[in-house]
Structure 1
Amino acid sequence: MKTRHTRGQRGLVGADLVHAALLEIERAGLEGFSLRCAARAIGCDVATLSYRFGSKEGLERAVADSLQAEVEAPERRLPWQDRFIALAMAYRAISKRYPNAFALLLRFWTTGPSDLQVAEEWHQMLYDAGLPEEDIPALGFATYAAILGVCSGEIGGLLRKPTTDELENIERQPDLPLTRKLLPIFANLRDEEVFDAAITNIVSGIEAQAAKKRPSKTPS
């Protein structure tokens, strides 16, 4: 997906402003991000950003859409399961590349043209899986949020290996027999295993829901 290059005030290219804002978010984080600090990092005035994006939210929305533009649509000739895996892996790669800005993808209903194009691919994938149209919006949101959630958990530290202190604390709890039994597995669990488990179970869930919705064959 190509990013549209549009020129704003003083001839600055909109895509360049968005990329510079993205780099500033990755440098300093989303907390405290503003048009003023973005302008300072970019080397322009606040009026230029206000003219081009309208507000801080407008700039953040544009940054989020630039991340969506990095998601390459898988070929539709592929099985829908393969397309789902490809899209999920694309978001995982983006989360690792832009861990601070990635949270913006969870903030907006839609961010712009690139986001809508990805949504179209996502909806088509669910349609090809055999879901009726009335089920696609809810399941589309649910599966998309699930993938972004796993990605956020990974970059945020939720999926990291437990520390020695954490393991010892669980060992001391007498009312956690199953969790204590699972501790050796937790201690060696890799992020990839968690992500693969999430994808596998989401795909299985889509398949199961699609199977329930198929009209039953009447005996001849």
Structure 2
Amino acid sequence: METSINKRRARGRLSRDLIEAAAFEVIEREGLVGFSMRKLAQALNCEAMSIYHHYPSQAHLFEALVERLVADLEIPPADLPWRQRVRIVMSDFRAAARAHPAFAPFLVTYRMNSPGCLGWLDEVIAVFEGGGFGQERGARLFRAAGYYLMGAILDESAGYAKGPSAVTTVDDERLREDYPNVAAAGRYFAESEFDKTFDMGLDMLLDAMERDLPSKP
């Protein structure tokens, strides 16, 4: 059966848009470790050198993938309440990462110092500082929120979402008998509970930030 990549490839010449879309598909199938420009070329039914014509290295390609995701993120309007703007920024970034779980670990650990990313980052920092905290406090709150957001994304994409990672595991009966607290809490760790847990934690974080707002005269 012809893949979606090959169907798109058959309709036109190789382009950056086509390469990036295919790269996301290959990464999700092979994982970050298993990905290679050779495998991407195979998926696109082309020579690897054809890809290198657009991207000098895999690092350049991955940077383009980050910028592609960031370009789709909109900064919420300035007339919205500060809390709502921060929630939108954080929730949208999380949604973008969760749409590409295999790529998410690279996304959240990538230092966003390329031009496209810096533009987005500059606006996001302005959102945090726009709460009236001042430059230093706003910057530190941005970083603190990032710790929470990135940790959640890593856990949801490469942690509990992947199931057990231990070599030595226990069966459900022993889990209930010897580790009752873990067994009882396990239902809340399921992927179906991720959104509720994330929203609860985000509300707690924003509550604490708003308590730190300078008092209005």
Task: Tell me if TM exceeds 0.5.
Answer: yes
| Structure 1: tracts of 5 or more residues without a match | 1-10, 174-178
- 1:71-90 correspondence runs (5 A): 71-90=73-92
Alignment length, in residue pairs? 198
Structure 1's 95 and 60: CA in aligned 2 closer, same or farther, altered over 3 A? same
- 1:129-208 correspondence runs (5 A): 129-158=131-160, 165=171, 168-169=174-175, 171-172=177-178, 180=181, 184-188=184-188, 190-208=193-211
Structure 1's 161 and 172: CA in aligned 2 closer, same or farther, altered over 3 A? same
Structure 1's 53 and 140: CA in aligned 2 closer, same or farther, altered over 3 A? farther
Residue 86 (structure 1) shift: 1.3
Structure 1's 145 and 170: CA in aligned 2 closer, same or farther, altered over 3 A? same
SS of match in other structure, 1:29: helix
Q: Share of identical aligned residues, percent? A: 24
Whether the 8 Å CA contact 2:101–2:157 is kept in 1: the answer is: yes
Whether the 8 Å CA contact 1:67–1:94 is kept in 2: the answer is: yes
Whether the 8 Å CA contact 1:64–1:111 is kept in 2: the answer is: no
Out of 10, 21, 35, the residue aligned to residue 33 of structure 1 is 35
- Counterpart CA distance in 1 for 2:124 and 2:173 is 39
TM-score in terms of structure 2 length? 0.75
Structure 1's 197 and 41: CA in aligned 2 closer, same or farther, altered over 3 A? same
- Counterpart CA distance in 2 for 1:108 and 1:153 is 17
SS of match in other structure, 1:110: coil
Matched, 1:51 2:53: yes
- Counterpart CA distance in 2 for 1:46 and 1:188 is 45
Residue 185 (structure 1) shift: 4.9
- Counterpart CA distance in 1 for 2:84 and 2:136 is 23
- Counterpart CA distance in 1 for 2:118 and 2:100 is 20
Residue 170 (structure 1) shift: 6.3
SS of match in other structure, 2:34: coil
Q: Which residue of 1 aligns with 2:16?
A: 14
Whether the 8 Å CA contact 1:127–1:136 is kept in 2: the answer is: yes
- Counterpart CA distance in 2 for 1:204 and 1:185 is 25
- Counterpart CA distance in 1 for 2:113 and 2:27 is 17
Q: Which amino acid in 2 is paired with 1:187? A: R
Deviations 1:83-103 (A, max 9, x none): 111122212322332111122
Q: Which residue of 2 aligns with 1:5?
A: none
* Moved beyond 6 Å, runs of 4+: 159-164
Deviations 1:3-48 (A, max 9, x none): xxxxxxxx74222221221121112211121222222222332223
SS of match in other structure, 2:206: helix
Whether the 8 Å CA contact 1:129–1:206 is kept in 2: the answer is: no
Whether the 8 Å CA contact 1:24–1:38 is kept in 2: the answer is: yes
Residues 26-35 or 108-117, more deviating: 108-117
| Cα RMSD (Å) | 3.1
TM-score in terms of structure 1 length? 0.74
- Counterpart CA distance in 2 for 1:47 and 1:144 is 37
